[in-house]
Structure 1
């Protein structure tokens, strides 16, 4: 195993460019807006809140909402985790059966703004979004702007590897170290939220290892015999035994992509060459795989490729590059950046 868990050591899809810049110099440089794809019904047991936050993480907000509503933390739901070092708008639901809404605006301050307050019949579920829209400002850009624009055009047409990046694994990959203690040494974690975070980190790292091997074999964006293919924008998968022109055409058009495992109980859905690559790439991680299965995690699939929709760019000032794009739920903007160059944060100095 690799005790360092360095995301930087994972291979890139495209040749690395001599480009660097700083990201998240201030939270306003990294803006993320959730887009639901539906509207709340206006009635029901769930308060449905659209919130903009600055300098706070998602779980902070969830706990505050629970306290304000005098409900257990588990009564608060959200679609996905958003980073602390950003300005993000996201949706929360609070289960309030037979109760009136508290005065939500009492919570508002410079870090927390209520964009809309509504009601809905169902709670919001994890991943229950249409997409996330990003606006990133890269400061101190150092490199050839023409090369950068050529690479951005390549990313727009081809997509990028759908890596889980450093945010998934915590500061200094601590989530993976905790996961290793649980899966290898039997350490018990009482806090359910933390336990699930560590299991998710472990499954994400195994996925990254398989994706890395598919990049090395130049098959991360190609269908191979025995693959499980995912339809873009959905979680629907289908198995392929043979690869015909129709399959190749759909892959080239980003309509379908090969998948990798989010490890757990159940079949991997792979055969032939695809199964051989997956088995070989994870052969040193048998204890983790068995531990995740024993913990009750269920096998799932994730696309190896990330389409980068609506990608545009401009140069607002000298040495500044602004990017706008949309990603499907569960995809990371920093996985896009790592295919463009090397980007660091002034405070944490963390490379992607």
Structure 2
């Protein structure tokens, strides 16, 4: 696969294609704040640090923190991977049993452009995916600022939700992660070829985006179909109803529940219901990816097709729009932006 496909947007039918725009002209134009639903307990073997980084990936900071603390990167915990070209705030943990952190750790981190905003001890390592949401503050500029339809597009997303696409960063520059995933899955996935599972994730994310795009085109991305597994908003709790009735349709309209799509894996056996026929079509369009994932041993999972914007705000500042909103963990701000403006970074269009 030489390039990623163009995935469907939800708002073009009503408003036409969005105008071009610019985001992330500077790191300060893209601010991300990780939000937990608990606080460290102030005791234990792990030192938790709430840090602010700029123009660095999370893994860059992990390596720096491990070096400065005289531990291995495996002793560093983090919940989510944050963007590089951005100002991001997140928690990390360092395993320091029976000893304190270096006395000058905060100053040495500051020397590599990492600020420590808070710190506390905790009994356990910070695990992947435990944060509740990410809060974004984004500045948009360019022709999109002059668009008469921008506020209507924004209000539609606030009211109806956002397609929960995986962002283009999941697939690497030019989609190279997906190309590598195809090669690895074709010869049989092995852990040593994909230590972090990045290639498996890229393949599953691609298939999910394909399914979501198909359901947008069919008009069912935000409506439960027969055979759908539904997810409660703000949780990972899922259920599969015996039938879709007016009560479920009303809950979906109110963003209380969302249809889900498959993250492909071993043992997935779709039935002949309307929702799962759409998922079966993935194996017909992309047999090598689906077969390779089935043989890899990765377990199937579900992901909501839609996400709600939490506490959305927007304002005009000089020649730009400033947007503020929260997304559940795993949600991509680029999925929001691709509905609002045209930009070459976005895979969907």
Which range, TM-score by smaller chain? Answer: over 0.9
Match of 2:228 in 1: 227
Which whole-Å deviations, capped at 9, do the CAs of 1:144-165 have from their partners, x for residues lacking one? Answer: 4431001100000001110011
Match of 1:293 in 2: 294
Q: Would the alpha carbon gap of residues 117 and 99 (structure 1) be closer, same or farther in structure 2, given more than 3 Å must change?
A: same
After TM superposition, give the deviation of residue 24 of structure 1 in Å.
Answer: 0.7
Partners of 2:249 and 2:32 lie apart in 1 by 33
Q: Please say if residues 155 and 308 of structure 1, whose CA atoms lie closer than 8 Å, have aligned partners that are also in contact.
A: yes
Partners of 2:145 and 2:79 lie apart in 1 by 37
Q: Please say if residues 220 and 258 of structure 1, whose CA atoms lie closer than 8 Å, have aligned partners that are also in contact.
A: yes
> Residue 274 in 1 paired to residue 271 in 2?
no
> Residue 119 in 1 paired to residue 116 in 2?
no
Match of 1:347 in 2: none
Match of 2:3 in 1: 4
Partners of 1:34 and 1:77 lie apart in 2 by 14
Partners of 1:167 and 1:270 lie apart in 2 by 32
Match of 2:331 in 1: 331
After TM superposition, give the deviation of residue 187 of structure 1 in Å.
Answer: 7.4
SS of the aligned residue for 1:339 comes to: helix
Q: Please say if residues 188 and 295 of structure 2, whose CA atoms lie closer than 8 Å, have aligned partners that are also in contact.
A: no
After TM superposition, give the deviation of residue 288 of structure 1 in Å.
Answer: 1.8
Q: Please say if residues 228 and 270 of structure 1, whose CA atoms lie closer than 8 Å, have aligned partners that are also in contact.
A: no
SS of the aligned residue for 2:279 comes to: helix
Between 1:137-146 and 1:169-178, the stretch displaced more is 137-146
Q: Please say if residues 266 and 297 of structure 2, whose CA atoms lie closer than 8 Å, have aligned partners that are also in contact.
A: yes
After TM superposition, give the deviation of residue 3 of structure 1 in Å.
Answer: 3.3
Q: What TM-score do you get using the length of structure 2 for normalisation?
A: 0.93
> Residue 75 in 1 paired to residue 72 in 2?
no
Structure 1 gaps, min length 5? 345-349
After TM superposition, give the deviation of residue 298 of structure 1 in Å.
Answer: 1.2
Matched ranges for 1:1-352 at <5 A: 2-6=1-5, 9-15=6-12, 16-103=16-103, 104-105=105-106, 106-109=108-111, 111-142=113-144, 144-186=146-188, 190=192, 192-194=194-196, 196-267=197-268, 272-318=273-319, 320-344=320-344, 350-352=345-347
Partners of 1:143 and 1:117 lie apart in 2 by 40
Partners of 1:113 and 1:270 lie apart in 2 by 52
Which whole-Å deviations, capped at 9, do the CAs of 1:19-74 have from their partners, x for residues lacking one? Answer: 22111111000000011111110011111110100000011111111222222211
Q: Would the alpha carbon gap of residues 18 and 200 (structure 1) be closer, same or farther in structure 2, given more than 3 Å must change?
A: closer
After TM superposition, give the deviation of residue 249 of structure 1 in Å.
Answer: 1.3
- The alignment's C-alpha RMSD in Å is 1.9
Q: Would the alpha carbon gap of residues 239 and 268 (structure 1) be closer, same or farther in structure 2, given more than 3 Å must change?
A: farther
Partners of 2:337 and 2:283 lie apart in 1 by 26
Between 1:182-191 and 1:306-315, the stretch displaced more is 182-191
Q: Please say if residues 169 and 175 of structure 1, whose CA atoms lie closer than 8 Å, have aligned partners that are also in contact.
A: yes
Q: Would the alpha carbon gap of residues 186 and 294 (structure 1) be closer, same or farther in structure 2, given more than 3 Å must change?
A: closer
Q: Please say if residues 165 and 334 of structure 1, whose CA atoms lie closer than 8 Å, have aligned partners that are also in contact.
A: yes
Q: Please say if residues 7 and 213 of structure 2, whose CA atoms lie closer than 8 Å, have aligned partners that are also in contact.
A: yes
Q: Would the alpha carbon gap of residues 226 and 189 (structure 1) be closer, same or farther in structure 2, given more than 3 Å must change?
A: closer
After TM superposition, give the deviation of residue 142 of structure 1 in Å.
Answer: 3.7
After TM superposition, give the deviation of residue 270 of structure 1 in Å.
Answer: 6.1
Matched residues, number:
342
Q: What TM-score do you get using the length of structure 1 for normalisation?
A: 0.92
After TM superposition, give the deviation of residue 310 of structure 1 in Å.
Answer: 1.3
